[in-house]
Amino acid sequence: MTTGAKPSSGDFVHRVRTVSGSAYGTRARSRAAATGGMGFRHRFRRDWPLLLMVLPVVVLLGVFHYFPTLGNVIAFQDYSPYAGIRGSDFIGFANFNRMFSEPAFWKAVANTLSITAAQLAFFFPIPIALALLLNSVLSSKVRNLVQGVVYLPHFFSWVLVVSLFQQMIGGAGLLAQTLRDNGHQAVDLMTKPDTFILLVTAQAVWKDAGWGMIVFLAALSTINPALYEAAAADGANRWRRLWHITLPGLRPVIVLLLILRLGDALTVGFEQFILQRSAVGGGAAEVLDTYVYFQGLLVGDFGYGAAAGLFKGVVGLVLVLVANRFAHMVGEQGVYSRS
């Protein structure tokens, strides 16, 4: 490239890929050199303090998450807590057949998937935009202050979140009072079934956008600064650096979070919906979690509730496997590496 000539788009992208590939290869060779030649016993003797610290977490996960999955056998039984698993009659797929024939079940599935789709539409753009804006702030004090303020709602309970929204957009809230003071009819957005999906999506985004922002800020810090220097030397403007460097650098994190979120596609929460069910009605607020609660637990039909829960788990597992396979097809690692 001659002096003074404007670099082409191909030259810029080639340099970005060259620097990125070189940095990645250096990190990979460093990791291989650090772990190569070490046997299991040597690594165990070296890392046993760390393994010991992880042991309580492994025990808790095993006792409270994995061991209870054995109880899913009651999904195939006419289960009675008085008779226990051994004393309850085995009825095969009768609970599943009844569940799949219930219109209320499919209504809960439709509501759950609609809410999941709406939340996914805002789950990535808003935290990424916040992370990019905050990453461009030069003052560390301002950055830390904004980061703390945006992240704070993540620690609020759903009772507090729903109460805050009620005070803002409820029938006696700030919005309704402002409309009355200006001669308009008051609006209660907390009791409208037609906009309930938008309401719960706004609540979820407001509560967890800070958490997503922290994750993407951490991902931004791992992007090699040499990529931006090479782009600036080639005359790339801010938008081209964003498109060719920043977003590709965030892609592994986006793919991983997308896979994990798809695994919970049928789990949108319980407290948020049970708190607002009476305001908008069961037709709008009925999701799979509340369906299991009302149809399985409250009436004592534990086998039926376990069948609905097992259905959620199987669908989530299938979605994770499919999404992870797609991640491998586009060149990302996903949740686990290819064998």
For helices 196-220 and 103-123, angle between their N-to-C axes, nearest 10 degrees: 40
What's residue 111's pLDDT? 93
The conformation of residue 173, written as its DSSP 8-state character, comes to S
What's residue 108's pLDDT? 93
Tokens of 103: 């219109």
Asked if 12 and 236 count as a contact pair (C-beta separation under 8 A), the reply is yes
Picking from 99, 108, 82, 315, the residue whose alpha carbon sits closest to that of residue 91 is: 99
Q: Is 312 left (phi over 0), alpha (psi -120 to 50) or beta?
A: alpha
The conformation of residue 246, written as its DSSP 8-state character, comes to I
The conformation of residue 6, written as its DSSP 8-state character, comes to P
Is residue 137 classed exposed, middle or buried when 0-12, 13-18 and 19+ CB atoms within 10 A define those classes? middle
CA 188/CA 48 separation, integer angstroms: 58
What's residue 110's pLDDT? 94
What is the per-residue burial (b if ≥16 Cβ within 10 Å, else e) of 82-110? eeeeeebeeeeebbbeebeeeeebebbbe
Residue 182 has φ and ψ, to the nearest 5°, of: -100, 15
Low-confidence ranges of the chain (pLDDT < 50): 1-7, 9, 12-13, 16, 19, 21-28, 32
What's residue 151's pLDDT? 92
What topology is assigned to 106-329 in CATH? Answer: MetI-like fold (1.10.3720)
Residue 305 has φ and ψ, to the nearest 5°, of: -65, -40
Asked if 286 and 108 count as a contact pair (C-beta separation under 8 A), the reply is yes
Instruction: Name the 3-class secondary structure at 77.
Output: strand
What's residue 11's pLDDT? 52
What's residue 69's pLDDT? 86
Distance, C-alpha 224 to centroid of its chain: 26
